[in-house]
Structure 1
Amino acid sequence: MEPVDLPLPVVRRPRASIDARALERDLRARVDGEVRFDAGTRAAYSTDGSNYRQVPIGVVVPRTVEAAVEAVAVCRGHGAPLLSRGGGTSLAGQCCNTAVVLDWSKYGNRLLSVDPDGRRCVVEPGIVLDDLNRRLAGYGLQYGPRPATHPNCTIGGMIGNNSCGSTAQAYGKVVDNLHRLEVLTHDGVRMWVGRTDEGELERLTASDGRTGELYRGLVALRDRYAGLVRERYPDIPRRVSGYNLDSLLPEHGFDVAGLLTGSESTLVTVLRAELELVPVPKHTALVVLGYEDICRAADHVPAVLEHEPVALEGVDHQLIHFQRIKHLNPEALGELPRGRAYLMVQLAGDTREEADARARALIDAKPDDVDHTWYDDERHVHELWLVRESGLGATAHVPGEPDTWEGWEDSAVPVDRLGDYLRDLKRLYEEFDYGHPSVYGHFGHGCVHTRTPFDLESEEGVARMRAFVERAADLVVSYGGSLSGEHGDGQSRGELLERMFGPELIEGFERLKGLFDPDNRMNPGKIVLPYRLDENLRLGADHLPWEPETVFSFPHDEGRFSRAATRCVGVGKCRSLEGGVMCPSYRATREEEHSTRGRARLLFEMVDNDGDSPITDGWRSDEVHDALDLCLACKGCKTDCPVNVDMATYKAEFLHHHYKGRPRPLAHYSMGWLPALARVVALAPRTVNAWASVPWVARAAKALGGVAPERDVPVFAEQRFTDWWRERGGPRGEGHRGEVVVWPDTFTDHFHPAIGRAAVEVLEAAGFRVKVPRAAVCCGLTWISTGQLNVARRVLGHTIDVLREDLRRGTPVIGLEPSCTAVFRADAAELLPKDPDVGRLREQTRTLAELLLERAGDWPPPRVDARAVVQRHCHQYAVMGFDADREILRRAGVDADVLDAGCCGLAGNFGFEKGHYEVSMACAEAGLLPAVRDADDATLVLADGFSCRTQVDQAGTGRTPLHLAEVLAAGLTGREAAPERPEAPGPRALLPWGVAGTAAGALAVSAVVRRLRRTRRPGRPPR
């Protein structure tokens, strides 16, 4: 076919005069899905993982592919720009725009078919990579490319970015692993595209209509630019920048699917994808090589490649240092060899012997001054890969270090020039006074990741960032490299593409854009006719956020709530569907707004003073309140989030201000004031339990208390733990290991006192002299979780007064309820930062297991010799950790299956509050409850948290979980480990106690309220 002269299309930014109300109305009328133009949703989708921010017009969550097609049709009718989005983790700004966002991840996540013989499958674009590979595991197949965000990235997003990951060393980029795509243009052309042989291409170019026009235009583009493509496209494995015009070349089979891969939603909407699969490696071995510096490690990469690794990653000493500061992956860091930089080399084989032989050959060939470690077991290999995959989060918001940002995080150069490139890049950093940022990445493909300490909040800083990026772009081009090695161009690199490709190929990109999207409605301003790289910044020189006064001190964010609200970097780990604790409400709802990331974005918008922010009413914002409503305050994000977003604390702070000076939800009174109410109930627990067993009374009480009608009211113990302690006569014996204070938390004291008695028994057997506070005390947890922070501070102040002498003597405080223990270890110091005894409380508070290991390490726990299913409490997971419990259980002979099943779903008051029951149970059914049901009768069920025990108990599993103290106490006497729990006495108990109990209760409520009002306020000098 003769070359055709194509006129340059008119490509312009979409008009701003979209009638959003009419567009929303028509979308609602015609689209089977969720149509959201509300302020909260728009705020949650206003940014991605990049430095950029653009508030969308609205969001559509289609239930089916056909619904998505209809949504595009409606947008076409209104001339509305469109952005088709996956997991939203893009680092170059391609997943935020002033457009209608089409989010596939909630419903469009089906695996439609699998052809195991042909090694192919068909998927919808919203399916998460790890979820897909779990479903393919039974076939012995997987999708090859595996970015670090594999727990939460979607296939559609991977196609949009032409993703790679560490496994691209063996399998290549997404473009190398696609068979066909079903795509839809903004103007309505729907077709399957892929490799096109000559006969099919002749047929398509001869056809009428838009399809024929598209293919004729593609042939013309190929013919016009083939020479320039061959000349100017870098011949490296990680060229992701620019459009894939090379896919149209004859040697690539005129692959239109390949052409559209990496186009970042600027050309088409992907509806379905037929993927090419690869066998799961049967055996692997991981060798880690240690070098004196990262440049020397890079120099050695070509020699390592001779051993044909399936993955070859580089990690420098700064990344390791930052992970140590942030307490990330401590076990894996201890397994690294000597050195200040590392190559992680994974080798595969059909047999264990073959994989190990490859590892030995690599080790034998390494230089003598290079140390190594070598693992071929799944646990160690997984732990070590986490070191590399934690890179982005580990290098962001490092305590004591300047904040770092994207902007030059994804360059790639020829492998044999990688060491020299890194040396020049380091010199460039020094020239711009950026210090020594961490560099790491896919060294086997010459791809370098880094985050740079740009100043993005001053005119001078933004100008310096721009100058640096322009110089860095020229540097990578001089090495024959690519501006992007896998993250894409978006806005951060779109403006720089001419430096890499030259003006002629940029004209070719514009022609391609004009061919598929002549009206520039698909993700406008990205790749082609891009926004400036210093435009639409989330911060920017004019960023002057609102700095509200707070109750929490936010010590990790310079005491500024605005800085805490900026902490999220958008990596999206909170959107993972398995493993860890974060984020239970997202796993239950699949809603961006109910992920940690989504909530963080709303809080950012709340403190942002930019005139276009959708959130305009500060602490009173209903949108922020609604997003936080399904936050379980589990604190999982405090540990699981790579930048330690602590949404539970942010929620408590928000609720404090949101309800200041106005009525609160009923649950805040009934459950927030539970410790005070429990003390009232203690005057007549049998009467209260009896009343609660009367159906109409229980219904009325739950309605008045804002409690979910599906929940049972917990049964109060007839004898509190503290009452038992007083009757017992207090401490016994001297205790050769010294004194300890057992903390009588509300849940142990009033509901499960047998746990407190068991703990005393175990501690005394281990040689401790046990004390229990005689005064009424509380950690303030329930007031914290409901945002009643002034009361919480008064309660904590009283607690410190009671414990002060013991704290100054260095006496350990033993927490039995993990959530209360976590208050002492974390929240208390942020609520009362100026009291030194609060710091002592934090340092001296221990779990039972921690104390036994630290101060009674030579005491052999009693043998229990049993199997157990163990549910970790979220607050213990997040604040104290569970290693000590694992070790004590091991020493006691307990074969513990510690569940990686996330939150139980009850989470303190959350699961009891009206309107939360369905989400609460969905969280429990995600892992905990099935594991309990599957456990046989001989298997113990352990859960130290009152919430976890209550969730299992009320779910009809027939099992009542035990606390660690109960298991160890049973082992001391040789009795069977069985829970001792209070039971409701029934309505008959009302006869002798009804009037007396009611009268006593009224008097006690009055006394408790008076006492709380008298409790010292923060700021009063300690006695």
Structure 2
Amino acid sequence: MPRVDIAAELAELGVDADSSTRRLAEYSYDASNYRVSPLAVTFPRTAREVATVVRWCHEHRIPVIPRGGGTSMGGNAIGPGVVIDLSRHLDRVLSVDAGSATAVAGAGIVLTTLAADARATTGGALTFAPDPSSASRATLGGAIGNDACGNHSVRHGRTSDHIVELHLVTAQGLLLTATRDGLRATDPADAAAAARAAEISDSLRELTAANLAILRTQLETIPRQVSGYHLAKLLPENGFDVARTLVGSEGTCALVVSATVMLVPVPTSQLLLCVGYRSPADAARDVPAILPFAPSAIEGIDRKIVATMAARRGRESVAGLPDGSAWLFIDLDDHSAAEHSEADVPATAKRLLDHLRAQGRMIDATVVDDPARRRALWRVREDGAGLSSRLADPDDESIGDGYESWPGWEDAAVAPERLADYLDDFADLLDRHGLTGVMYGHFGAGCMHVRITFDLRSPEGRAVMARFCTEAAELVVRHGGSLSGEHGDGRARSALLPIMYTPAMMSAFARFKSIWDPRGILNPGSIIDAPPITADLALAEVPRRTWPTAFTLGHELPLVDPFVHAVQGCIGVGRCRADSGGVMCPSYKATRDEKDSTRGRARVLQDMVRTAPSVDEGWRSTDVAEALELCLSCKACSTDCPTGVDMATYKSEFLDHHYRRRLRPLSHYSLGWMPAWLSAAGLAAPVLNRALRSRLSGLAARAGGLDPRRTMPAFATRQARRTHLAALSPVDESSTVVLFVDSFTRAFRPHVATAVAEILGAAHPVDCASNPVDRAPDPADRAPDPVDRAPDPVDRAPDSVGCAADNCCGLTWISTGQLDRARKVLRRTVADLDDGTDRPIVVVEPSCAAALAKDLPELVPTGAARRVAARVRSFAAHVPALLDTGWRPPPLPDEVTLQTHCHEYAVFGARVGIAALEALGVTVHTADGCCGVAGNFGFEKGHYEVSMAVAENGLAPALRNAPERPVVTDGFSCAMAVEHLATVDDGLSPGHVRGVHLAELLTSAPDPATDSRGVRP
């Protein structure tokens, strides 16, 4: 049946279905090595709609693939039929019963949301225990499908240990409920469902009776035996527990649409003990000594992951780790203390540390009791899968730009007491195959995650992978272990199950599958009748082409183009779908649509480079253009994504090619070329400002491709510009700081430049780099000066206001993908700023600072550009240096609301503004997330609703909660977001809520007779 017919027929049945090529690309991947294109993707709203889809597929013999957060590392969330995305609508907590310590929730609910709702409903007393590292985006249905465990499984076990009932849709589209002692129709009046429940129950009892011996001897031999089906739960001594038998069945037997789960008490006191070791094996040898202390978690990571975290997010992100090359994260809580009648948790930690010192393997240890510091360190472990895939360690010569490691053998498990010996043997196996493994995982449960440097692009590399995984399976079986300890078998390990299980057990598994799914339509390829582990690899057979780029996207891999390597950086871990922890991905948080996640966009780009008939046609892709339309270019993914995907850069590159020799959107001219016309606009500021407040504003906005509902900025008058910018007097070459005054500051808030200069001047001699005041730009593109040679300082006159012509960061041209122009502008800027000194270049506007620090050396790959970029810092990032000189501001407010610009967050660090204000004794309340304006985005036609929804993620609630607090908005777009919210939000008062630059806060108040742009009210 043609793909379009599937979506159309399902739509006629009332189901939201999509078979567009863009949508299929998004759902062709999960977090594994595999790619399988579906026929259609559906988004059912109820359990009965799920049943409708499955029944239709059963009648037409079309495979069904259930999917939650799409974070499967085994390849069990992709398939060749109809994907049912349960995360869009079946994502609610239906009830919480504190008395029975249970909750009922939809299969599509995110695990952290379920846990948070349970805590909120029970007054903080109860929570849902399973917490895999992907818990902020993985769903309950996925956790049930894989029998996920998590960081605290040493205390709380697997998901199967917390299941009371599963509410199912069978392969025939019937609604059944699996319980701890049987199977029944969900609706007692449904005769067909009741008959099917009885039929399945009888068949399961027959299967159990025929296989009693092997079920008792081959299953449940270690805590993390997840591979295969959990048939031992059907044994008489286990009460014919059908519900827990289905946990870990990977959607191959029935679809879980909701579940009743058990809740556990929330610890009232806890701390983190970080212990450093020389190697992961040394750390593993101490696990048996730690377990008697009843910790709630024993997790391990190695040095490469920590080094990558520090390189990507700054040393602050790993502050608090002790010395070592491998670490154990040990959580202790009040239960740990109670087990040994300790006075308190710190006493238990002290006794454990004394015990570990006596073992003689630990190098160092730290005790972390601050909740914020604990969360920050746990994030290092939680991001292990992504961080280890593309390492970044300046101190390790073996790790270059092209380093890649992959799953495939990433979660085998053994008994904890055998883990160290297994790791020694596993390291030898890696060496024999010439592979490197980055290790992390659940040491307390004997489950080791390893990402390995497989070469998945070449036939030779794939053959090595097949041989290695076969030998690794044989190795873990010799150690009495399981091929999978958490992620399920999927496409990565199902074909290897005969190494672990006898033919009799494999036959029992096949029979179990056929009882539930006689036509074999449910998630084919997982557990039973699996394809070879090297089939359907996403990196195989990608055409080797050269994709020309303006950005330098360097790497060291011989078989892949730099752009292809960059977009393939997304491995599907899905942190961009998380509700908390970082800024990305604001558009996904607003729409909850996979196409608007960083991952969804990356997958469409990956399909572009894989399937495009030619490079030129690839750049013309309408699928990619659609996927990128709601990308705010906030750059947060470049920091928040564990693999460092920088979608803003990829979008800019794509737009540059997509619109070559084609008419662009109007906003690319009105906003993209803004720096070129802002100076001239200043001459007519009074007229323009009156027009913007008149009926003509809507017409003008539409003519420029803008949304007329958006509050437009008022231009600073020529007098205001001269008043403020003329105050920036020239200095001689003894100046120690260069002040870069950007286009936005000059045009809209020149008083901020005065404030910054006042502060810098109080601490250093200051040089100023700025456009000539109110000079219209020269339309002719003059040839740039050579920029790879530092000018002789004695040949240069000292800079002052207006002394460096046409200094601009090029940001608006970069964000709209006009990269030839951006490079011309940046070359001029480099020529002026590369003055042979290492003086800091302090940039007023943080987005411009980020462009100069990151985009400049990637677009202008010269020594001069790199020298300039290394000197650039945002004003907030420079405040600690000011404090070091002894400078102190006038009295400050006790509390502020801080909206950190996304680009500053991404390039200079998440805490630059917070650290600056806290160092000054100010209590900071952060408006977490993107403001929604994000440069061009919030002004452009078609983006208003999403922009406002993004603001609701953090900024708007923060303003409503405390409208009286000063709002620090160093970014001009952030200030405009605040101004617009104050205008349209009934809970805020225009004129009373206003974004101020940090420099304004640190200097005297502006003249009350004028607003911030020198415009009289």
Verify same fold: TM over 0.5: yes
2:377 matched to which residue of 1? 384
Change (3 A) 1:332 1:356: farther
TM-score normalised by structure 1 residue count: 0.89
113-122 vs 309-318, which moves further: 309-318
1:931 matched to which residue of 2? 958
TM-score normalised by structure 2 residue count: 0.90
2:148 matched to which residue of 1? 163
User: How far apart are 1:582 and its partner, in Å?
Assistant: 0.4
Answer yes or no: is the 8 Å Cα contact 1:310–1:347 preserved in 2.
yes
Identity in percent? 40
User: How far apart are 1:985 and its partner, in Å?
Assistant: 6.8
1:968 matched to which residue of 2? 1002
User: How far apart are 1:581 and its partner, in Å?
Assistant: 0.7
Write the letter of the residue equivalent to 2:889.
P
Equivalents in 1 of 2:769, 2:331: separation in Å? 54
| CA deviation map 1:719-767 (0-9, x unaligned) | 37763366447236x797x243222211110011111111111111223
Work out which of the residue numbers 784, 790, 799 in structure 1 matches 2:829. 799
2:926 matched to which residue of 1? 898
1:62 matched to which residue of 2? 44
User: How far apart are 1:821 and its partner, in Å?
Assistant: 0.7
1:128 matched to which residue of 2? 110
Task: Say whether 1:366 aligns with 2:368.
Answer: no
Equivalents in 1 of 2:1009, 2:108: separation in Å? 46
Work out which of the residue numbers 928, 937, 962 in structure 2 matches 1:910. 937
Equivalents in 2 of 1:742, 1:123: separation in Å? 55
Q: Secondary structure at the match of 2:672?
A: coil
Equivalents in 2 of 1:418, 1:772: separation in Å? 60
Equivalents in 2 of 1:605, 1:594: separation in Å? 16
> Which runs of 5 or more structure 2 residues have no equivalent in the other structure?
393-398, 771-801, 983-987
Answer yes or no: is the 8 Å Cα contact 1:949–1:960 preserved in 2.
yes
Answer yes or no: is the 8 Å Cα contact 1:904–1:928 preserved in 2.
yes
| CA deviation map 1:449-471 (0-9, x unaligned) | 11011111111111111001000
User: How far apart are 1:855 and its partner, in Å?
Assistant: 6.1
User: How far apart are 1:495 and its partner, in Å?
Assistant: 0.3
1:771 matched to which residue of 2? 768
| CA deviation map 1:381-406 (0-9, x unaligned) | 22221221121112111243431111
Work out which of the residue numbers 572, 577, 597 in structure 1 matches 2:574. 572
Change (3 A) 1:729 1:450: closer
Answer yes or no: is the 8 Å Cα contact 1:740–1:768 preserved in 2.
yes
| CA deviation map 1:986-1015 (0-9, x unaligned) | 9xxxxxxxxxxxxxxxxxxxxxxxxxxxxx
- Aligned pairs (5 A) from 1:336-735: 336-349=321-334, 353-368=343-358, 369=360, 370=362, 371-399=364-392, 400-401=399-400, 402-435=403-436, 437-540=437-540, 542-555=541-554, 560-609=562-611, 617-695=617-695, 697-719=696-718, 723-724=722-723, 727-728=726-727, 730-731=729-730
Write the letter of the residue equivalent to 2:841.
V
Task: Say whether 1:235 aligns with 2:221.
Answer: yes
634-643 vs 759-768, which moves further: 759-768
User: How far apart are 1:776 and its partner, in Å?
Assistant: 3.3
Change (3 A) 1:882 1:301: closer
| CA deviation map 1:615-642 (0-9, x unaligned) | 9941111111011000000000000000
Change (3 A) 1:208 1:333: closer
Q: Secondary structure at the match of 2:205?
A: helix
Task: Say whether 1:145 aligns with 2:130.
Answer: yes
Equivalents in 2 of 1:241, 1:743: separation in Å? 59
Equivalents in 1 of 2:818, 2:158: separation in Å? 51
Equivalents in 2 of 1:702, 1:911: separation in Å? 13
Equivalents in 1 of 2:591, 2:828: separation in Å? 40
1:996 matched to which residue of 2? none
| CA deviation map 1:48-105 (0-9, x unaligned) | 1111100111100112222222222222232211111000010111111111111011
User: How far apart are 1:501 and its partner, in Å?
Assistant: 1.1
| CA deviation map 1:339-384 (0-9, x unaligned) | 3222221111068953222212212222344232112221222222
Change (3 A) 1:556 1:894: farther
Equivalents in 1 of 2:65, 2:725: separation in Å? 67
| CA deviation map 1:569-627 (0-9, x unaligned) | 1100000012311000000011111100010001110001489x9x9941111111011
- Aligned pairs (5 A) from 1:733-744: 738-744=735-741
Write the letter of the residue equivalent to 2:994.
T
1:28 matched to which residue of 2? 11
Change (3 A) 1:557 1:121: farther
User: How far apart are 1:257 and its partner, in Å?
Assistant: 1.1
Equivalents in 2 of 1:978, 1:229: separation in Å? 84
User: How far apart are 1:22 and its partner, in Å?
Assistant: 2.6
Equivalents in 2 of 1:657, 1:699: separation in Å? 31
Write the letter of the residue equivalent to 2:256.
V
Equivalents in 2 of 1:309, 1:648: separation in Å? 42
Change (3 A) 1:712 1:317: closer
Equivalents in 2 of 1:376, 1:101: separation in Å? 44
Answer yes or no: is the 8 Å Cα contact 1:808–1:837 preserved in 2.
no
283-292 vs 756-765, which moves further: 283-292
Answer yes or no: is the 8 Å Cα contact 2:612–2:618 preserved in 1.
no
Q: Secondary structure at the match of 2:545?
A: coil
Change (3 A) 1:199 1:265: closer
Change (3 A) 1:336 1:768: same
Equivalents in 2 of 1:720, 1:547: separation in Å? 52
Write the letter of the residue equivalent to 1:784.
I
Answer yes or no: is the 8 Å Cα contact 1:81–1:523 preserved in 2.
yes
Answer yes or no: is the 8 Å Cα contact 1:23–1:78 preserved in 2.
no
Equivalents in 2 of 1:855, 1:199: separation in Å? 71
Q: Secondary structure at the match of 2:348?
A: helix
| CA deviation map 1:126-162 (0-9, x unaligned) | 1001111121112121111100011111101111111
User: How far apart are 1:896 and its partner, in Å?
Assistant: 1.7
Change (3 A) 1:207 1:406: closer
Equivalents in 2 of 1:353, 1:628: separation in Å? 56
Task: Say whether 1:816 aligns with 2:844.
Answer: yes
How many positions carry a matched residue from both structures?
951
> Which runs of 5 or more structure 1 residues have no equivalent in the other structure?
1-17, 987-1023
Answer yes or no: is the 8 Å Cα contact 1:313–1:440 preserved in 2.
yes
Change (3 A) 1:941 1:824: same
Task: Say whether 1:844 aligns with 2:863.
Answer: no
- Aligned pairs (5 A) from 1:2-401: 18-32=1-15, 34-138=16-120, 139=122, 140-196=125-181, 209-324=195-310, 326-328=311-313, 330-331=315-316, 333-349=318-334, 353-368=343-358, 369=360, 370=362, 371-399=364-392, 400-401=399-400
Equivalents in 2 of 1:198, 1:657: separation in Å? 58
Q: Secondary structure at the match of 2:741?
A: coil
Task: Say whether 1:860 aligns with 2:887.
Answer: yes
User: How far apart are 1:984 and its partner, in Å?
Assistant: 6.3
Equivalents in 1 of 2:97, 2:619: separation in Å? 53
Write the letter of the residue equivalent to 1:872.
T
Q: Bigger relative contact order, structure 1 or 2, given CA contacts below 8 A and separation 6+?
A: 1
Change (3 A) 1:330 1:728: closer
Q: Which aligned runs of 4 or more in structure 1 are off by greater than 6 angstroms?
A: 197-201, 203-208, 974-979, 983-986
Q: Secondary structure at the match of 1:366?
A: helix
Answer yes or no: is the 8 Å Cα contact 2:68–2:108 preserved in 1.
yes
Write the letter of the residue equivalent to 1:759.
V
Answer yes or no: is the 8 Å Cα contact 1:329–1:383 preserved in 2.
no
Equivalents in 2 of 1:35, 1:616: separation in Å? 31
